[in-house]
Structure 1
Amino acid sequence: MKKFVGVLLALTTIMVAGCSSGDTATPTSSTSTSSETKSETKSETKSETSDTNNETSKVWVIATDTVYIPFEYTNENNEFVGIDVDLLAAISADQGFEYELHSLGWDAAVAAVQVGQADGLIAGATINQERKDSGWIFSDGYFDTEQTFVVELNSDISSFEDLRGQNVAVKNGTAGASFANSIKDEYGFTITVFEDSPTMYQDVILGNSAACIEDTPVMAASIKSANLALKIPENMANDSSAYGFAIMSESSYELLDMFNAGLANVVASGEYQEIVDKYLK
């Protein structure tokens, strides 16, 4: 495609120069006008080619978590996969943009976008007002979920009241952590913060915490795939909310617009549902 554009612009230069020479009134004027036209045309051609190369060479850097099953994780074949991973690939193909996906862990991924080392974040990030107020700019929602408390397989805990006097494990900076903090005083439990989900799960399995809190589809998939000795009690979840792709700089609005447009297209085509079903059914 780049070679085709270069040939086309070169032909345009020759044609324009030829027309300028033929339309002049005197030989002296003709020579001057032709030379100026060639110079201007070459300059314009160089500028246009440079602009085209800049556009085509743009590679967006997108940060994500390391383990957040089924949205992003490394499978048994050492492949980085998940709903977020496949959805981003489908949207990129639909919109024709290039990207690099960096699996950094939740905290590091958020920090990378905040300081401009990454252009966007896709990591099962819940859309909420607290994040918007702190500078997160979200896409349209692409997956609805809720946050639920999770307990050890043989635990008798079945309600928020049963958490009184107990400790709850949470993952730093997540919607689940916000939910737990919002009700800890009402139900009288303490909180321990972890940097990743697997360590948080183990804290409950080992009996150090009575419960942890996680997004329901993530927890269900993790229990199933890793055969974790955990269970999800009924009626211990918050209201449903949506995940969104996020940017934190106005310079990335182009990427956000392409994400939204591509999301709408893959939903309409049925490809979105195929991706979700691949990991949840």
Structure 2
Amino acid sequence: MITTVFKCLTVGLGLAAGLGLSAAALAQAPASQLDGIQSRGALQVCTTGDYKPFTLAKDGSYEGIDIELAKSLAKALGVEAKFVQTKWSDLLTDMGAGKCDVAMGGISVTLDRQKKVFFSAPYLINGKAPIVRCADKAKFQTIADIDKPETRVVVNPGGTNERFVRANFKKADIRVYPDNVTIFDEILAGRADLMISESIETKVQEKAKPGLCAVNPDEPLQYGEMGYMLPRGDATFKAFVDQWLHLAKATGEFAGIYNQFVK
């Protein structure tokens, strides 16, 4: 197991510039959790299971882009992926409590989160976009179009969607809805006018739910990046995850998994 740590330290040195860490700092870093993961034979992955196409709980298991990529990461470590159910509002708490080695499932990189955790290198550029009834698509093109007292914006609690909505809409009627799987049905049923979500999710839901249309998903209202949430301070583990992600993209594995759920 010690050999694994030294191998990963070598990778970490190669990525030191990207991490903003010196070689001396890496050399003096505390032991990584890599050995713990390999000793227990499992990579513990926190995921919400409610964010298609990244993570969706289904029939007692999970499916999605990040579920398959979690299995790939576990394989690279020589262990099995074990999924731990969490909620958006509990992500940071569960990571801080040691319930998971990594959190995966369409997680946006934010400065607030980075105060408490590390993130992998970004794996997707993915901003915020509205999804509406198709008949209303022309009506809700901009933040100004949306931010009116008569506009009913439905939002799932605890994540960056809610944070964006509350930061940008001061006049709109904001309605919190706790189930991120059925939330889009609120729009179809006429109980809400729109939802703000990641642009990739609006594309997926547009295909899945006839009558809903994504609004300018390729020109989102806000630029954003997604990454994998990692324990703060473990530069060696971050270096390993970043190198795995780089190779997954370089070999075409990432694109193959992405296309299973999006194309």
User: TM-score interval w.r.t. the shorter chain?
Assistant: 0.7 to 0.9
Q: Which residue of 2 aligns with 1:67?
A: 50
Q: Which runs of 5+ in 2 are unaligned?
A: 1-34
Q: Which residue of 2 aligns with 1:269?
A: 251
Relative to structure 1, is the Cα distance of residues 98 and 253 closer, same or farther in structure 2, using a 3 angstrom cutoff? farther
Q: Which residue of 2 aligns with 1:280?
A: 262
Q: Which residue of 2 aligns with 1:183?
A: 168
Farther-moved stretch of structure 1 (116-125 vs 150-159): 150-159
Q: State the alpha-carbon separation in 2 of the partners of residues 267 and 154 from structure 1.
A: 38
Deviations 1:204-229 (A, max 9, x none): 2222322111111112212323x253
1:68-107 residue pairs with structure 2 within 5 A? 68-74=51-57, 80-107=62-89
Relative to structure 1, is the Cα distance of residues 153 and 162 closer, same or farther in structure 2, using a 3 angstrom cutoff? same
1:211 aligns with 2:211: no
Q: State the alpha-carbon separation in 2 of the partners of residues 95 and 74 from structure 1.
A: 24
Q: Which residue of 2 aligns with 1:147?
A: 128
Q: CA RMSD in A?
A: 2.7
Question: Which one has a larger percent helix, Structure 1 or Structure 2?
Answer: 1
Cα offset, 1:247, TM superposition: 2.3
Q: State the alpha-carbon separation in 2 of the partners of residues 91 and 211 from structure 1.
A: 36
Q: Which residue of 1 aligns with 2:21?
A: none
Cα offset, 1:129, TM superposition: 1.2
Q: TM-score of the superposition, structure 2-length normalised?
A: 0.74
Relative to structure 1, is the Cα distance of residues 269 and 191 closer, same or farther in structure 2, using a 3 angstrom cutoff? same
Cα offset, 1:59, TM superposition: 2.7
Q: Answer whether contact 2:152 2:175 (CA < 8 A) is retained.
A: yes
Deviations 1:31-88 (A, max 9, x none): xxxxxxxxxxxxxxxxxxxxx999533533211011211111246x875221101112
Q: State the alpha-carbon separation in 2 of the partners of residues 218 and 267 from structure 1.
A: 21
Q: State the alpha-carbon separation in 2 of the partners of residues 154 and 74 from structure 1.
A: 31
Q: Which runs of 5+ in 1 are unaligned?
A: 1-51
Q: Answer whether contact 1:62 1:100 (CA < 8 A) is retained.
A: yes
Alignment length, in residue pairs?
224
Q: Per the alignment, in what secondary structure is the counterpart of residue 191 of structure 1? A: strand
Q: Answer whether contact 1:61 1:118 (CA < 8 A) is retained.
A: yes
Q: State the alpha-carbon separation in 2 of the partners of residues 71 and 260 from structure 1.
A: 19
Output the amino acid matched with 1:69.
K
1:157 aligns with 2:139: yes
1:168 aligns with 2:149: no
Q: TM-score of the superposition, structure 1-length normalised?
A: 0.69
Cα offset, 1:245, TM superposition: 0.6
Q: Per the alignment, in what secondary structure is the counterpart of residue 197 of structure 1? A: coil
Relative to structure 1, is the Cα distance of residues 223 and 259 closer, same or farther in structure 2, using a 3 angstrom cutoff? same
Q: State the alpha-carbon separation in 1 of the partners of residues 140 and 36 from structure 2.
A: 60
Cα offset, 1:112, TM superposition: 2.0
Q: Answer whether contact 2:38 2:77 (CA < 8 A) is retained.
A: no
Cα offset, 1:178, TM superposition: 2.2
Q: State the alpha-carbon separation in 1 of the partners of residues 182 and 92 from structure 2.
A: 19
Relative to structure 1, is the Cα distance of residues 54 and 238 closer, same or farther in structure 2, using a 3 angstrom cutoff? closer
Q: Per the alignment, in what secondary structure is the counterpart of residue 244 of structure 2? A: helix
In our comparison, the structure showing a higher alpha carbon Rg is: 1
Q: Answer whether contact 2:48 2:55 (CA < 8 A) is retained.
A: yes
